Amino acid sequence: DRISEVDTGDNGVHAFLHVDAEGAIAAAAASDARRAKGELLSPLDGVPIAVKDVLTTIGQPTTCGSKILEGWVPPYDATVVARLKAAGLPILGKTNMDEFAMGSSTEHSAYGPTRNPWALDRIPGGSGGGSAAAVAAFEAPLAIGTDTGGSIRQPGAVTGTVGVKPTYGAISRYGLVAMANSLDQVGPVTRTVLDSALLQELIGGHDPLDSTSISEPIPSVVDAARLGASGDLTGVKVGVIQELTTGEGWQPGVMARFDESLELLRDAGAEIVEVSCPSFEHALAAYYLIMPCEASSNLAKFDAMRYGLRVTPDGDPSAEEVMRASRDAGFGDEVKRRIILGTYALSSGYYDAYYGQAQKVRTLIQRDFAAAFEQADVLVSPTAPTTAWKLGEKLDDPLAMYKGDLATIPSNLAGVPGISVPAGLADEDGLPVGFQVLAPAKADDRVYRVGAALE
């Protein structure tokens, strides 16, 4: 009822691309029956959840926000989806996203943008704007997102929700349609830190179907969230990343809430120190080479033969002509831009100059993280430099859009976990601000502990 009330129509939030009312209601009834018998399958049995439309779902379309996959219904569930079902969570439907997760505003969806529930003329962040907006608009209590360069955390920040990018490999990517395999990570989008922890514990853990899945267990994030909620951070060293808190481009209202959150951490007993990560200056440039390289290769499989859209030109077209016409009609501008960029950077003669250099920068970023984590248990920054901008404002300026990912991208390049928690509203526009906490790989518990202390 809530979804039909707020999601549809000209001024609707448009968080969902597909709603499975029947399936969700049947799953909820089954959960009620289990509850009556005292046989719940998990702590979240019966709690409905929305899933970003980049994860495969049996019987529900999976479009990745693209026309090229319109009408495709996958024959298998992503591991995360299978685990949600096995734990008794009714799946409400699939949420809107920038096409193939490329974007920071959800305006690059082929099915129209999602609106920010806080101000309907504003973007909900991206690429997972649908999942964040669904939670912020009380259409779903929980959602699943994916984060390649910030697509869980930045939408979380601008919609006042909690978003977590776990350690690379902590949650299976099986059934996640890949944008950039070495950066992609599935994670929770929720209203509270404890909800995210319960969700991560449910969907995380080793999966033999994902070769990059971590086999050893990580410390309990639920225990960490509970510990953090007690409000005691005595002995925790918090490092403020100089490169992500000084210089130009940081909205004053964002910095004011950030400084306030630091004070709260200090009050909770944490020690605040300054750390420097000089290579972060080049993270954006490295990301916007590595990501398109991987994406251009991944998207080659959409050849009009195997899945979704097929456009057949008149006459007696060759297979190549069918592919060209289908890809031309099926992919949007941002996807085409990145395919061209990635193909160029990977071509012989340019490979070392671009892809090779970007990989070297990636190593430097990993080293900066390692050095910073010698000085602090967690690192912090604002999640995004600004609050939600107006729909359309940055659509014609890809570079301006990319700059919004400044603070989230380094952790994807290094594979380390990060959380964005609400830090209040900016004075100048009354819109939500996010506070980001990062920790070393496999120390996801630390981001939950510090995040929960801020609630």
Q: Which residues are catalytic?
A: 52, 127, 151
Q: Residues 165-204: x/- map of binding to ligand GLN (CB under 6 A)? A: --------------x-------------------------
Out of 101, 135, 414, 450, which residue is the one contacting ligand GLN (CB under 6 A)?
101
291 binds ligand GLN (CB under 6 A): yes
Q: Which of 151, 161, 251, 296 binds ligand GLN (CB under 6 A)?
A: 151
Number of residues located near ligand GLN, criterion CB under 6 A: 13
By CB under 6 A, tell whether 99 contacts ligand GLN.
no
Q: Could you give the string, one character per residue 388-417, with x where binding to ligand GLN holds by CB under 6 A and - elsewhere?
A: -----------------x------------
Please, what is the end-to-end C-alpha distance for the chain in angstroms?
29
Nearest approach in angstroms of CB 52 to ligand GLN is 10
- Find the part of the chain contacting ligand GLN (CB under 6 A) among 66-74, 148-156, 237-245, 316-324: 148-156
Q: How far is the CB of 162 from ligand GLN (least distance, A)?
A: 16
Nearer to ligand GLN, 123 or 421 (CB): 123
Which of 149, 204, 410, 432 touches ligand GLN by CB under 6 A? 149
Choose one: 70-78, 101-109, 255-263, 425-433; the region binding ligand GLN (CB under 6 A): 101-109
Would you count residue 107 as binding ligand GLN (CB under 6 A)?
A: no
Q: Give the binding site for ligand GLN (CB under 6 A).
A: 101-104, 127, 147-151, 179, 291, 405
